[in-house]
Amino acid sequence: MSLILVAVISLGAIGLISAVILYVASKKFAVYEDPRIAQVAEVLPQANCGGCGFPGCSGFAAACVKAGSLEGKMCPVGGQPTMEKVASILGLEAAASEPKVAVVRCNGTCANRPKLTQYDGVRSCVVANSTFGGETGCTFGCLGCGDCISVCQFDAIHMNPETGLPEVDESKCTACGACSKACPRNIIEIRPKGKNNRRVYVQCVNKDKGAVARKACAAACIGCGKCVKVCPFEAITLENNLAYIDPAKCKSCRKCEMECPQQAIVAVNFPPRKPKADAPTAEKQTVGQAAIASAAKPVAVKNETVNMVSAPAAEAPKNTEA
């Protein structure tokens, strides 16, 4: 009996002493952490994607609290609403930012860009890119091994088995940039979503000379410069035989899209153009222009042809504008 008593008393005493030591230590060596960091972290989406440029959501929260200004800080996943919440916690102004989306700048579908060889190595774009120029004649285009798909945390990018190209689901894409970083050929660009989700961009990254590029792919930018000439806003630059549309300057007039002889410039989420009696639009609208479905086709078809165009229902009435 006394044995049990001794055990209880001695263990109790050890526990008591340890508790006192721990209490004192926790007070003496306490590290002050701004309680706002935890509050900010709570409103963040906890995707830990790193799209903001900081190591995870807690890293971003700490940076927001420490910086004292939200200038240049943006959670791509949560977007503007989340940043406003963060701003209200910190008593700061949320920096206005444009919503962005990932765009795949390659239209080298199986039809446009026939395969010349067959790759049987590791199904990884980085490995394939370091090994050879690709299964097709184009050494700049999509390799189709799907590195971008495996890194996406939001299930927003998928391989289309028919075209062999990845397609971005606009409604799910948060523009975290993981796919863009994973792509060894820098094909995926994070572009502003544009007004009413409408944007115009060059769907090609081929820097080869025109004849070489055209031979490799029917939808390649050949660097002819027609778009540069036709653009009224000087938004298009031509470098290394490749046109690039500056999203900051582009006013989405779509003149370049009409002008491009290769249909390498695409305009997405635009309402169908009004058919002109004499215009040979039907001929011009081939693969590259699938995004602007001809006037005869309703919006529903548009969604089918290009998956990346997930036209929201609210868009439909606006179609009458054009």
Partner 1 sequence: MKTFRIGGVHPAENKLSAGKAIETLALPKQAVFPLSQHIGAPATAIVKKGDVVKVGTKIAEAGGFVSAAIFSSVSGKVNKVDSVIDASGYRKPAIFIDVEGDEWEETIDRSKDLVKECNLTPEEIVAKIKNAGVVGMGGACFPTHVKLTPPPGCKAECVIINAVECEPYLTADHRLMLEKADEILVGVQILMKGAKVNKAYIGIENNKPDAIKLMTEKAAAYPGIEIVPLKVKYPQGGEKQLIDAVIGRQVPAPPAIPINVGAVVQNVGTAYAVYEAVQKNKPLFERVVTVTGKSLKNPSNFLTRMGTPMSQLIEAAGGLPEDTGKVIGGGPMMGKALVNTEVPICKGSSGVLIMNDKEARRAEPQPCIRCAKCVSVCPMGLEPYLLATCSAHGDWERVEHEMIMSCIECGSCQFTCPSHRPMLDYIRLGKGKVGGIIRARNAKK
Q: How far is the CB of 313 from partner 1 (least distance, A)?
A: 41
Give the binding-site size for partner 1 (rule: CB under 8 A). Answer: 16
Q: Which of 10, 12, 132, 186 binds partner 1 (CB under 8 A)?
A: 132
Nearer residue to partner 1 within complex by CB, 89 or 151: 151
Q: How far is the CB of 124 from partner 1 (least distance, A)?
A: 8
Q: How far is the CB of 43 from partner 1 (least distance, A)?
A: 31
Decide if 98 contacts 122 (C-beta within 8 A): no
Q: How far is the CB of 209 from partner 1 (least distance, A)?
A: 8
Q: Is residue 133 a contact residue for partner 1 (CB under 8 A)? A: yes
Q: Is residue 38 a contact residue for partner 1 (CB under 8 A)? A: no
Q: Is residue 294 a contact residue for partner 1 (CB under 8 A)? A: no
Site string for partner 1, 200-219 (x = CB under 8 A): --------x---x-------
Q: Is residue 23 a contact residue for partner 1 (CB under 8 A)? A: no
Q: Segment contacting partner 1 (CB under 8 A): 93-101, 113-121, 192-200, 232-240?
A: 113-121
Q: Is residue 95 a contact residue for partner 1 (CB under 8 A)? A: no
Nearer residue to partner 1 within complex by CB, 97 or 124: 124
Nearer residue to partner 1 within complex by CB, 134 or 166: 134
Three state DSSP letters for the chain: CHHHHHHHHHHHHHHHHHHHHHHHHHHHCCCCCCHHHHHHHHHCCCCCCCCCCCCHHHHHHHHHHHHCCCCCCCCCCCHHHHHHHHHHHHCCCCCCCCCEEEEECCCCCCCCCCECCCCCCCCCHHHHHHHCCCCECCCCCCCCCCHHHHHCCCCCEEEECCCCEEEECCCCCCCCCHHHHHCCCCCEEEEECCHHHCEEEECCCCCCCHHHHHHHCCCCCCCCCHHHHHCCCCCEEEECCEEEECCCCCCCCCHHHHHCCCCCEEEECCCCCCCCCCCCHHHHCCHHHCCCCCCCCCHHHHHHHCCCCCCCHHHHHHHHHC
Nearer residue to partner 1 within complex by CB, 115 or 318: 115
Q: Is residue 10 a contact residue for partner 1 (CB under 8 A)? A: no
Chain residues that interact with partner 1, rule: CB under 8 A: 116-117, 120-122, 124, 126-127, 130-134, 139, 208, 212
